Amino acid sequence: MITKSEVLVVVPALNEEATIVQVISGVQEEGFAVVVVDDCSTDLTAALSRVAGADVLSLPLNAGVGGALHTGFRFAVEHRYKAVIQCDADGQHFARHLTDLLNAANQCDADMVIGSRFKSEAKSMEITTTRKLAMNCLAIIASRATKHKITDSTSGFRIITQPLLGEFAESFPTYYLGDTFEAVVVAGRAGYKVREIGVAMAPRVSGASTSTSARSVGLIAKTLVLTIFMLHFRIRKKSYHG
Amino acid sequence: MSQQTAQAIEIAVVALIFALMIIRLSRRQSISFRYTIGWLSLCAVSLFGSLLIPVISPLSKFLQIDALTLIAAGSIIILLAICIQLSISISGLQRNQQRLNEDFAITKLEIEKSRDHKE
């Protein structure tokens, strides 16, 4: 049974000064510790985060979302946290669902619980047909890998518990989709238990999504190569941890 | 002078100019010694290969490939080997850079926290 004090919320952030304070406040109100991983922002993201009471890991070089998350995972493991919740800095993830993710992880004894945008009854996101097609394709592959129906393998809102957290702190991809979809597939193939719960998500308040239709098509091709040739990163199997 | 000899001399001259350029870059420390060796090997294959066309000829006849094409193929194989070596080196550098990047961020936060704690 993991308690809130044993969970660290990791918020990777790049130029999110418009929303970061609101995100940190939401996390703190839910009773979780929070660390912001500032991915070389040029605005006031880091300063505002510190004022809001969050620990800030400032990367001197831009590392991407995956690199920022990896930094957060290492920090969490070094400080003996039992779980990490990934949460976006753009305000799309509602803080009230943090506890839902923790409860689900405890109830299912899961190594990873994903907050799915498509499992929620509330229609929270509008996406293009091409992107939807790409996401469905990824969901099928992720479901096969985890032997569980996954509807949103690219969601960046998820809880990761030990020992999977320790594995990710050692090895985690930094490229696009590696930190979301690939992490799910790798965890599933290594025998870790991956589950999903439905969550609502707010539309973006500021900034722009990194996913475009053209990119969606590209990611299908990349994903197929990755999956067919088993080129993804490696972690130790769950059985290794007993 | 046969056409083949003329081509061999032209290739040898280009290879020599390329080798001199590499040596100059290496002396300026623009290229590390490790890569200098790789590029000079490529120059050597082109230079001596073109001059040794009569020696290569029996092999090229056996393989049913033109002698100059055989030299070009040898050069391309060395080029590919250098490219793969460079890819491996760059991947390693990226990993090291990412590790340093993360270590810096974590250590900086630890120092800030311990300073705040003392104050």
User: What string of DSSP letters covers A70-124?
Assistant: HHHHHHHHHTT-SEEEE--SSS-B-THHHHHHHHHHHHHT-SEEEEESSSSSS--
Q: CA A175 to CA A2: how far, in whole Å?
A: 30
Which pLDDT belongs to residue A10? 98
User: What is the average pLDDT value for chain A, to the nearest integer?
Assistant: 89
Would you say the C-alpha torsion B57, B61, B62, B66 has a positive or negative sign? Answer: positive
Average pLDDT over residues A12-40: 96
Is B112 domain-assigned?
A: no
ipTM of the complex: 0.84
Does residue B117 sit within a domain? no
For residue A157, pLDDT over 80 is answered with: yes
Domain boundaries, chain A: 4-241
CB neighbour list of residue A84: distance below 8 Å, 6 or more residues apart = A7, A8, A9, A10, A72, A73, A76, A159, A160, A165
**Do the Cβ atoms of A59 and B108 come within 8 Å?**
no
Could A71 and B104 be called an inter-chain contact, meaning their C-beta atoms sit closer than 8 Å?
no
For the stretch A73-99, pLDDT in tens is 999 999 999 999 999 999 999 999 999
Number of domains in chain B: 1
**Whether CATH 3.40.50.10890 fits A4-241:** no
| Averaged pLDDT for residues A11-33 | 96
Token code pair at residue A183: 């992490």
pLDDT of residue A84: 98
Put simply, the answer to whether A59 touches B102 (Cβ < 8 Å) is yes
If one compares A101 and B49, the residue with the highest pLDDT of the two is: A101
Could you tell me how far CA A65 lies from the centroid of its own chain? 9
Task: Report pLDDT digits (tens) over A96-147.
Answer: 999 999 999 999 999 999 999 887 665 556 667 777 777 888 899 999 999 9
**Cβ contact, residue pair B98, A70, below 8 Å:** yes
Strand partners, A195: A113
Chain A contact present for B102, CB below 8 A? yes
The whole-angstrom distance between B80's CA and the closest CA on chain A is 21
Whether residue B14 is contained in a domain is answered as yes
Measured between alpha carbons, how far is A170 from A158 in angstroms, rounded to an integer? Answer: 18
Q: Is residue B9 part of a domain?
A: yes
A71-80, A86-95, A192-201, B30-39: least confident range: B30-39
* Dihedrals phi, psi of A17, to nearest 5 degrees: -60, -25
Considering only CB atoms, which chain A residues are within 8 Å of B105? Answer: 37, 57-60, 71
Residue B60 located in a structural domain: yes
Does B96 contact chain A (CB < 8 Å)?
A: no
Q: Using a CB-CB distance cutoff of 8 angstroms, which residues of chain B are in contact with residue A71? A: 101-102, 105-106
Residue B67 lies in a domain: yes
C-alpha distance from A37 to closest chain B C-alpha (Å): 9
**How many angstroms separate the CA of residue B36 from the nearest CA in chain A?**
30
Cis peptide before B58 (omega within 30 of 0): no
Indicate yes or no: CB of B98 within 8 angstroms of CB of A63. Answer: yes
Dist. CA A131–CA B85, nearest whole Å: 37
Given an 8 Å threshold on Cβ–Cβ distance, is B105 in contact with A58?
A: yes
**Domain annotation covers residue B102:** no
pLDDT at A87 (0 to 100): 94
For B99, the token pair is 């590790």
Could you list the residue range(s) of the whole structural domain that residue B28 is in?
A: 3-89
Q: Is residue B99 part of a domain?
A: no
8 Å CB contact of B105 and A70: no
- Collapsing DSSP states into helix, strand and coil, what is residue B65? coil
Q: Which residue of B has its CA nearest to A59?
A: B105
